[in-house]
């Protein structure tokens, strides 16, 4: 048996699903998804999920509540850990009309993925790393995991996402399709770690 560790870029996956119009797959069991990506004699060693907490928006005040329910649902899954970055607000200004608006930029996810993947490789915690992301900023750590630690890296691209740099750097690369997502959903209702009832958000049905 060979050991596989899965690293999920949660926001990259979310935006891929959103751009594809697949909101019905947001309630995703990433551990089950990870298991469906295994091949041959691979066994799942661990899953690491990386994300950042979102803020309420004027047109979507319930956004943090939905995300919190989802993260609580993921916390019930065995051999899965959640790693959080953060959003930084930035002020933008139009050079022509001088209009000013605020945007938010996610920070630390790619750094957190790199740290955990390289740390696990150094600890010999896996034989193959499966990276669910199309963020080309991860080319450096992927190359280091392969060349310095002799590990195999598979890049699994979220829907509507692609990175030619990652494709060239990883041992194998492919896109995650509709079927595997459809068969990797959490139950409509489950118990959280504190005994509370967690339901799939109505907006994600």
Per-residue pLDDT tens for 78-137?
999 999 986 565 566 667 676 655 565 676 799 999 999 999 999 999 999 999 999 999
Best CA proximity match to 166, nearest among 174, 155, 182, 158? 155
pLDDT score at 87: 56
pLDDT score at 55: 85
Is the pLDDT reported for residue 76 higher than 90?
yes
Best CA proximity match to 54, nearest among 102, 109, 106, 108? 106
| Residues ≥6 apart with Cβ < 8 Å to 51 | 10, 11, 67, 71, 82, 83, 84, 85, 109
Q: What is the pLDDT of residues 132-168, one digit of tens each?
A: 999 999 999 999 999 999 999 999 999 999 999 999 9
Domains of the chain: 2-204 (3.40.50.1010)
pLDDT score at 94: 67
Mean pLDDT of the region 53-71: 91
Mean pLDDT of the region 43-60: 92
Decide: 46 and 80 in contact? Cβ < 8 Å: yes
Give the max Cα distance, the chain: 62
Q: What is the pLDDT of residues 167-199, one digit of tens each?
A: 999 999 999 999 999 999 999 999 999 999 999
Mean pLDDT, the chain, as a whole number?
Answer: 92
């Amino acid at each position: 048996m060979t050991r596989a560790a899965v690293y999920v870029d949660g926001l990259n996956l979310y935006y891929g699903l959103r751009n594809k119009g697949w909101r019905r797959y947001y309630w995703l069991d990433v551990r089950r998804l990870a298991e469906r990506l295994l091949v041959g004699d691979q066994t799942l060693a661990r899953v690491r999920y990386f994300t950042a907490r979102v803020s309420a928006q004027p047109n979507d005040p319930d956004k943090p509540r939905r995300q919190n329910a989802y993260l609580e649902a993921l916390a019930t899954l065995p051999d899965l850990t959640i790693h959080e970055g953060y959003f930084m607000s930035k002020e933008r200004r139009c050079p022509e009309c001088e209009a000013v608006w605020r945007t938010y930029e996610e920070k630390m996810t790619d750094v957190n993925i790199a740290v955990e993947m390289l740390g696990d490789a150094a600890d010999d915690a896996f034989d193959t790393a499966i990276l669910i992301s199309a963020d080309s900023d991860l080319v450096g750590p992927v190359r280091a995991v392969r060349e310095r630690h002799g590990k195999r890296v598979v890049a699994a691209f979220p829907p509507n996402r692609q990175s030619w740099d990652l494709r060239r750097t990883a041992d194998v690369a492919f896109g995650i399709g509709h079927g595997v997502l459809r068969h990797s959903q959490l139950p409509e209702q489950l118990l959280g770690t504190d005994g509370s009832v967690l339901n799939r958000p109505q907006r994600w049905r």
